[in-house]
């Protein structure tokens, strides 16, 4: 199956770059499409990089043709929940409309396999705090809605054509490449582990806990944190599944257990060897007390087995990357 190219949109970003790195290590042919609005040239390493937007149908069509693309992994998206609330059309424009244009191009050029980067935000606030793939879908912000609309488009296109797809619903992604080659480089990031690591190293003055009165063991929100390397591997296994004739499917990407905000902050402080400056603030609207994946389907269907299911390992890899950025911040070059 290595004769065709795999197009990775957003492949110069955090998660996409880790997937590209794993694909290349397996000898796969990859081309990246990224507008570099949040991605970085250096994260693409030596992979072919085309700078542009997924909504540019002429560019995408030419790229699919010139590079003999047979599979697409689609990461390019805006992902900041509060921003989606204040500027919803930005999210529907990029996450939904541009995905629609990409899918049109894929259909016209006979792309057979499509893997979509989705989110646990499509579930909203599950009643039990644990989400299965068949849990009712009830997003509570435009970010989640924009992703769910893309899931629906994929579902309907696959029903009408021979395009087969996998939707991967991410829970809380964390950590970086253990070898320190790439990592989470987004400026003003909102992911807890990165924010905490920046605070630990003095890049930020403090880290906030939003809500300490939830009905959880220590009063702070509980989330399912998945190492980016395990998440990247899920994408490779999803592609293998489709190439072997697997039917279109949806999989949660999480470990099936959670850590509280306070547990994550305690681990960052312990690994770094110094206390954090923590500020406790009121709850944020729409934050569920607990959000954990039921990930049995991906384990059973794909045979996915995580290799980095350890909070200390996740934090250590994130801290290592932040220290490397402090020494040589390519974002300023």
The pLDDT, as a whole number, for residue 231 is 98
Alpha helices in the chain (DSSP H): 14-25, 41-44, 57-66, 81-86, 88-91, 98-108, 142-160, 192-200, 228-243, 261-272, 296-302, 311-327
For 32-75, write each residue's pLDDT tens digit.
999 999 999 999 999 999 999 999 999 999 999 999 999 999 99
- Residue ranges, CATH 3.40.50.720, the chain: 5-174+225-253
The Cα–Cα gap between 117 and 11 comes to 12
Q: Which fold has domain 192-223+256-291+302-332?
A: UDP-galactose 4-epimerase; domain 1 (3.90.25)
The CATH number of 5-174+225-253 is which of 3.90.1150.10, 3.40.50.1980, 3.40.50.720, 1.10.3720.10? 3.40.50.720
Both structure tokens of 116: 């979509």
Helices and strands (H, E) in the chain, number of each type: 12, 15
Amino acid 258: pLDDT: 97
Pairwise CA distance, residues 274 & 321, whole Å: 18
Beta-bridge mates of residue 97: none
Tell me the β-bridge partners of 73: 8, 115
Note the pLDDT tens digit of each residue in 72-88: 999 999 998 889 999 99
Residues of the chain with CATH 3.90.25.10: 192-223+256-291+302-332
Cα distances from 43 to residues 182, 266, 320, 330, 331, in angstroms, run 6, 29, 16, 10, 10
Q: How confident is the model at residue 307 (pLDDT cuts 50, 70, 90)?
A: very high
Per-residue pLDDT at 266 exceeds 60: yes
Query: What are the tens digits of pLDDT across the range 164-217?
Result: 999 999 999 999 999 999 999 988 888 999 999 999 999 999 999 999 999 999
pLDDT at res. 1:
43
Options 91, 143, 241, 308, the catalytic residue: 143
143 a catalytic residue? yes
Residues 5 and 59 sit within 8 Å (Cβ to Cβ): no
Q: Which of 118, 114, 95 is nearest to 158 (CA)?
A: 114
Rounded CA separation 149/153 (Å): 6
């Amino acid at each position: 199956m290595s004769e065709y190219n795999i197009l990775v949109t957003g492949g110069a970003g955090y998660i996409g770059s880790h997937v590209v790195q794993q694909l290349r290590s397996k000898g796969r042919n990859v081309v990246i499409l990224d507008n570099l609005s949040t991605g970085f040239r250096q994260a693409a390493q030596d992979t072919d990089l085309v700078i542009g937007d997924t909504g540019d149908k002429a560019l995408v069509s030419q790229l699919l043709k010139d590079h003999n693309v047979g599979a697409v992994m689609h990461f390019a998206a805006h992902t900041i929940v509060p921003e989606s609330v204040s500027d919803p059309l930005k999210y529907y424009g990029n996450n939904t409309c541009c995905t629609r244009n990409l899918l049109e191009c894929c259909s016209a050029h006979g792309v057979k396999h499509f893997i979509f980067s989705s989110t646990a935000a499509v579930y909203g606030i599950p009643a039990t705090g644990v989400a299965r793939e068949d849990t009712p879908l009830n997003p509570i912000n435009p970010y989640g809605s924009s992703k769910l609309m893309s899931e629906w488009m994929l579902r309907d296109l696959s029903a009408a054509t021979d395009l087969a797809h996998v939707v991967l619903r991410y829970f809380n992604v964390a950590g970086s490449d253990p070898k320190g080659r790439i990592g989470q480089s987004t400026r003003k990031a909102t992911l807890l582990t990165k924010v905490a690591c920046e605070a630990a190293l003095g890049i930020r003055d403090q880290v906030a806990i939003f809500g300490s009165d939830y009905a959880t063991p220590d009063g702070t929100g509980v989330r399912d944190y998945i190492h980016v390397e395990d998440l990247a591997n899920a994408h490779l296994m999803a592609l293998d599944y489709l190439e072997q004739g697997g039917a279109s499917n949806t999989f949660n990407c999480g470990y099936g257990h959670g850590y509280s905000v306070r547990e994550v902050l305690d681990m960052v402080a312990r690994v770094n060897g110094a206390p954090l400056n923590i500020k406790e603030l009121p709850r944020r609207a729409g934050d569920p007390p607990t959000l954990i994946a039921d990930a049995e389907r991906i384990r059973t269907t794909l045979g996915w087995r995580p290799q980095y299911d350890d909070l200390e390992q996740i934090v250590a890899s994130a801290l290592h990357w932040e220290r490397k950025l402090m020494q040589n911040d390519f974002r300023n070059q």
